[in-house]
A and B are shown apart, each in its own frame.
Chain A
Amino acid sequence: MSAAVETAKHASPQKRQRAHLTDRAKAERSLGWKLAGPAFVVMLFVTLWPIADAVWLSLFNYRLTDPAGKTFVWFQNYITALSDPLFWQTFVTTFAIVIFTLIFELIFGMALAMVMHKIVIPRKTLRTIVLIPYSIITVVSAFAWTYAVSVSSGFMNYWLHFITAGGFPLDYDWFGGRWSSLFIICLSEIWKTTPFMSLLLLAGLAQVDSSMEEAAQVDGATWWQRFYKVVLPNMKAALMVAVLFRTLDAIRIYDNPYVMTGGAHETTTLSMLVSNETITRVEIGMGSCLSVILFIIVLIVAAIFVRGFKVDLTSSGGN
C-alpha cells in the first residue's frame, strides 16, 4: 500500500528524469535487469505463486485424503475461522507472547547494546558471548528449557526453592497451566532472541554522532536526558526496524510451544493452529484459509509500523 503511494508521489519527477537518461545509464539499467531478472523470476515462482495458490485453495472445503469431496465454498472457511473461539484463543496467546517478549527484549537488548558499545577491550569476545544463545537452534533451546523447568529432571524448581528459603514448592508443574506455561515459553524466547535485538540496536547506537552527546554533556544534560533526548531520537530508524523485525518474527512463533506443551492448556499459537489443520488433519482448505489470515495479520502489523511509526526500511543501513 505505502509503496504504491510513494511511487505515485515520486512518479512525476521520475518521468522527467527518464527523458534525461544518458546512454550509459540506460545500459546500466538494462544490465541491472538482466542480472537481477532471473532471481526475480525465481522469486515470483517460489513466493507469489504459492501465495496465490493458498488464497485459491482457501475457498474450498478440501481434504487431501478425500479429493472427490472437494467443494467450492466461497468465504465459508473465513467465516468459520473468524467466528471460532479456538481461533481467537490462539490469537490472544500469540499476541500475549509477542507483546511480553518484545518489551523485555527491547529493554535487555538496549542494555546489552549500550554495554557492548561502551566496552572497548574485550569487544570481540563480548560480542561472541552475547551471540551464543542466538546461534543455538530453537528446537534445541526449547528442549533445554523444557528439561530445566520440568518437575522430574529440572533444576529450576530447586533453585527457586533455595532462593525463597523453601517458599517455592519443589513439585510445581510449570506446564500444568496456561499462564505458567506461557511464562516459560516467553522466557525461552527472550533468552534466545535478545542477542539479535541487541545487535540491531548496536548498529543504531554506532550511528549516533558522539560529538552530539559530548555537546549535550557540556550543556549539563544528565545521563537520562542524553539517552532520552539525544541517543534515542538519533537511532529511531534502527530501533523501529529492530522492533518491526522482532514483532513479525514473534508472530510466527511455533517451536517453543510445540516442544514444551504441544499446545495443551490453551497454549496453541496461530502457527500451530495452521499446522494442525494443514499437516495433521490435512484440511487443505481450512489450513490455507488460516495461513492467509495469518499473512494478512502480518501485513497489517507491518503496515501499522511502516505508516504509523514512519519506519523507512531503505534508510536504516546508515545513510
Chain B
Amino acid sequence: MKRLRSRRRATALAVSVSMLASVGIAACGSSSGGGAGQASLTWFINPDGGGSNPKGGGQAQLAAECSTSKYKINIQLLPNSASDQQTQLLRRLAAGDSSVDLMSVDPAYVTQFAAANYFAPVPAAMVKQIKSGGTVQSSVTASTYNGKIIAVPFWANTQVLWYRKSVAKKAGLDMSKPVTWDQIIAAAQKTHTDIGVQAALYEGYSVWINALVAGAGGSIVDNPNADYQHIKMGLNSAAGRTAAQIIRKVSDTGVGGPALSSSEETQALNLFQAASSSGFLVNWPYVWAALNTPPKVPWINDVGWTEYPESVAGQPARPPFGGIELAVGRSSAHVGLAYQAAQCITSPSHQAQYMIGTGNPAAAKSVYNEPAIKKAFPGGLAALIVQSLDKAATRPLSPYWGDISTALQQRFSPPNNVTSKTPATTQQFVLKVLNGKALL
C-alpha cells in the first residue's frame, strides 16, 4: 500500500513537472525554427505605416526581404508610444531574454540601454562603415555613447518650418533667408495666423525645448556620459532662458493656438490645415504627405518649407532629431546573424524603399539623390531634410534622459506659466530627482 502511494506520488510529480516544463517551453518559444540549419531571428519593431504586413512597405516587408537561407527574420510589434516600447524592451533585456535579436530603438532611450550594457558590440567593419561619412551626422551622434558606436542608424527624422507663402508675403517676411522665432511670432501676430508647435505634456514638448536651447548655443545636459552623481546641467543658462522666453512669447501672443497646452503633432497639423488660422508650423516631414494626399488642402501650392527657425538671430538653428536606431541584444543567441540582418535592413536601397513606403526619412545621405525620393519629396524638400539632418541636435544622450524629459515637461507646463526662472527651478528639480531626493 505504502509503495503504491509513493509510486502514485512520483507519477503525480512527474506529470506536474512535465506540465510546468511544457508551459515554460511554449512561453519562451524555440529559437531554432524554420528549415534545417535556418536560424530564426526576432526583430522587435515599432509600429509604422506597414504594420505587420510583409508587403506593406514597412519594417515587416524589410524583415521578409532580408531573410535568407541562413536565417529567417520574424517580427514582433511593440506598443505605440516610445515609453511603452521602452518598458517592454527593458524588461526583456534586463532579464537576459535570448529572443531579443534585433530591435528598433527610439533615440530617447537608446543611451539608457547602452549604458546598462544591453546591446551586443557593433562589429568593427560596421562601425567603420557608419563613420565613413555616408550617414547624416545627427544619426551618427545619436548612435554613439561614450565615444563608441552602439547601434546602427536606420532612419532619421527632423523638423522643418512649414509656412503659407501668402502669409509670409503679407507679413513682409523674406523666407529665402533663415528666419528667427521672434520674426515668425511677429509675422503671425501681424497676419492673425497661428504657429503650430508641440507643447502638451509629452516627449514632443521636450523635443521643442531641446531644439530651442540648442539653437541658442546651449545644451540641457553638459556631460551626458556622466552618472547621476556627477551630471552637470546647462539648462540654467542664457540659452535656457532664451528658450523659456520664446515659449512664453508664443503663449502670451496667442499665436500658439487656443489649446497650446494640449498641442501635439496632430493638433499642430490641424491648426495648419485650418484655412483661417494657418500660417506657420514646425513639424516632421510627414506633414507633406498628410497635406498632399487626397483630400488635399485647396491651397497646396501655397505651402512652403524652409529650415527650422533660429532661436537667436544669426546663430544657425539646431532642428530636432528623431528616428530609429537598430540594435542587437547582448543575450541574443545569434549576434553575428543579427548584425548581418541589420546590414541588409539598413542598406541604402532598403532605406530608400522604407522612406517611400512609410514617409520616414533615411539616415543614408545617398538616398536623397535618388529620383524616386526627389519625386516623393519634391521642390527641394528632400534636400532640405538631409541638410537639416546634418545640423540637427539630438536630445541629450544621457542614460537619464527619460527622467530629465519628464521633469522638463512637468516644469514647463503649462506654457503660459513659464518664466525666466523656470530653467533654474527645473534644473534644480532634475538634479534632486536624479539623486533620489525627489519623486517624479
Cα distance A68–B145 in the bound complex, in angstroms: 18
Check: B227 CB closer than 8 A to any chain A CB: yes
Report the count of interface residues on A (CB-CB < 8 A).
Answer: 25
Interface string of A75-86 (1 = CB under 8 A from B): 011001100101
Complex interface: chain A residues within 8 A of B118 (CB): 65
Stretch in contact with the other chain, from A108-116, A238-246, A282-290, A298-306: A282-290
Cα distance A264–B406 in the bound complex, in angstroms: 12
The reply to whether A66 and B116 contact each other, CB–CB distance below 8 Å, is yes
Report the count of interface residues on B (CB-CB < 8 A).
Answer: 20
A80-B116 contact, Cβ under 8 Å, with A66-B227, A281-B402: no
Interface string of B74-86 (1 = CB under 8 A from A): 0000000001000
Of A65, A73, A84, which is within 8 A of B438 by CB? A84
A87-B439 contact, Cβ under 8 Å, with A65-B399, A281-B402, A282-B90: yes
The winner among B94, B115, B399, B438 for most chain A CB atoms within 10 A is: B438
The reply to whether A69 and B227 contact each other, CB–CB distance below 8 Å, is yes
Give residues of chain A (187-214) contacting chain B, Cβ–Cβ below 8 Å: none
Check: A279 CB closer than 8 A to any chain B CB: yes
Residue of A nearest to B402 (CB): A281
The reply to whether A81 and B90 contact each other, CB–CB distance below 8 Å, is no
A-B CB pair tally, cutoff 8 Å: 52
Residue of B nearest to A273 (CB): B439
The reply to whether B439 and A84 contact each other, CB–CB distance below 8 Å, is yes
The reply to whether B113 and A65 contact each other, CB–CB distance below 8 Å, is yes
Of A66, A73, A81, which is within 8 A of B439 by CB? A81
Of B201, B436, B438, which is within 8 A of A61 by CB? B436
Interface string of A252-290 (1 = CB under 8 A from B): 000000000000100000000100110111110110000
The reply to whether B440 and A281 contact each other, CB–CB distance below 8 Å, is yes
Give residues of chain B (227-243) contacting chain A, Cβ–Cβ below 8 Å: 227-228
The reply to whether B87 and A280 contact each other, CB–CB distance below 8 Å, is yes
Instruction: Report B233 CB to chain A, min CB distance, Å.
Output: 18
Residue of A nearest to B116 (CB): A65
Residue of B nearest to A262 (CB): B201
Interface class of chain B by DSSP: loop
The reply to whether A80 and B94 contact each other, CB–CB distance below 8 Å, is no
Give residues of chain A (85-108) contacting chain B, Cβ–Cβ below 8 Å: 86-87
Cα distance A61–B435 in the bound complex, in angstroms: 9
Check: A64 CB closer than 8 A to any chain B CB: yes
Give residues of chain B (77-133) contacting chain A, Cβ–Cβ below 8 Å: 83, 87, 90, 94, 112-113, 115-116, 118
A65-B439 contact, Cβ under 8 Å, with A280-B83, A281-B403: no
The reply to whether B436 and A76 contact each other, CB–CB distance below 8 Å, is yes
Cα distance A161–B203 in the bound complex, in angstroms: 36
The reply to whether A279 and B87 contact each other, CB–CB distance below 8 Å, is yes
Cα distance A276–B433 in the bound complex, in angstroms: 13
Check: B3 CB closer than 8 A to any chain A CB: no
Instruction: Report A313 CB to chain B, min CB distance, Å.
Output: 33
Cα distance A29–B87 in the bound complex, in angstroms: 48
Cα distance A282–B93 in the bound complex, in angstroms: 13
**Interface positions of A (Cβ within 8 A of B):** 61, 64-67, 69, 73, 76-77, 80-81, 84, 86-87, 264, 273, 276-277, 279-283, 285-286
Given A65-B94, A66-B227, A67-B116: 13 more A-B contacts, CB < 8 Å = A61-B436, A65-B115, A80-B438, A86-B438, A86-B440, A264-B201, A273-B439, A277-B439, A279-B87, A281-B402, A283-B436, A286-B436, A286-B439
**Interface positions of B (Cβ within 8 A of A):** 83, 87, 90, 94, 112-113, 115-116, 118, 201, 227-228, 399, 402-403, 436-440
> Can you list 28 A-B pairs, Cβ within 8 angstroms, ordered by A?
A61-B436, A64-B90, A64-B116, A65-B90, A65-B94, A65-B115, A65-B116, A65-B118, A66-B115, A66-B116, A66-B227, A66-B399, A69-B228, A77-B436, A80-B439, A81-B439, A84-B438, A84-B439, A86-B439, A87-B439, A277-B439, A281-B402, A281-B403, A282-B90, A282-B94, A283-B436, A286-B436, A286-B439
Q: A-B pairs with the 3 shortest C-beta distances?
A: A65-B116, A86-B439, A84-B439
